[in-house]
Amino acid sequence: MLANVTIAGVASSIPKKIVTNTELESLVETSDEWITKRTGIRTRHIAVEETAVGMATDSAAKALAMSGVPKESIGLIVACTITGEDLTPSMAGSVQKALDISTCTAFDVSAGCTGFIYALVTAASLMDTLDVETAIVVASEKMSNYTDWSDRSTCVLFGDGAGAVVLRRSDTPRVQFPILNAAPDTGDVIVLKKDARSTPFAPSDDTKKEYIRMKGADVFTYAVGVLEDTLKRLYALCGDKPFTKVIPHQANEKIIDYVMRTMSMSRDAFFLNIASYANTSSATIPIALCDAWEAGWLRRGDRVALAGFGSGLTSGGVVIDWDLPDKTK
């Protein structure tokens, strides 16, 4: 059961370097038209000096500043990533250290591109259990480190970035109707393996660097099915107050378009920013949440569904009653 919480702050951290589709033409056999037509992606941001932990810290610090909540009140940090620089400490622990938060609960979750929803639901669930008043949920990915830039089927899809929210207790529940699910990836549809390691007791000559691998057609079939199912389940859970807006995982515009058509939903009901950022894995939803609020698309009183899918194979969704004051330009 989720605690009564609201989103009190939201922010993103985006690398400075922008790589266009045209620039990728020098790396692989592709074109701007080919990429745009099949994915909806036009540019992506690539971290050069930035790190996954650094972007996580930056977005968390900005969300905290926006919320007006003192860092001393943070009792929980839940981070999600598949591309963190360290196996240990956790990304959440590194963010805690960077923000100089003396004591709190801090840990990571790993659920691929559904990671932010898993982390958000986990944090909202634990706030009652741990008697926490305020929490940070952050997603950060440096996908460029694990992208094979010689494989045109994957290198055109990914980008880097981070997003964070601050959760604070509220009188009424504003994060509701959690759905978390996983189905076994028996076909190795989305895989990112660790590089081989050698020990004196188990020597290995394998020096191959591992990159993310995907079976595009299988990903599409899985994604459209679980995205539609998640939205239908959320709609039913909302009862007589349905959500009117959707922020989906930004994996591929064709996936989102397909679900729009099958559910007979207006394109205006969906927020898309994949054209500018590409797929930033677990960070797509919080980045889109921040962009949607800053653009004035998401307004106080809106009921918005967040829905994602990813490796595992994971999927999930949650409904937010948006309570931040409208962004003034």
Distance CA 106, CA 95 (A): 9
CA 138, distance to chain mean position in Å, is 9
Q: Smallest Cα–Cα separation from 138: which of 10, 2, 294, 311? A: 10
Distance CA 11, CA 311 (A): 25
Say if residues 235 and 242 touch (Cβ distance below 8 Å): yes
> CA-CA distances (angstroms) from residue 257 to 88, 90, 220, 234, 263?
39, 36, 12, 19, 10
Q: Tokens representing 177?
A: 């109707």
Tokens of 275: 């054209």
The catalytic site residues sit at 113, 249, 279
Tokens of 120: 């958000």
Rounded to whole angstroms, how far apart are CA atoms 234 and 303? 11
For 30-95, give the secondary structure using H, E and C.
CCHHHHHHHHCCCEEEECCCCCHHHHHHHHHHHHHHHHCCCHHHEEEEEEECCCCCCCCCCHHHHH
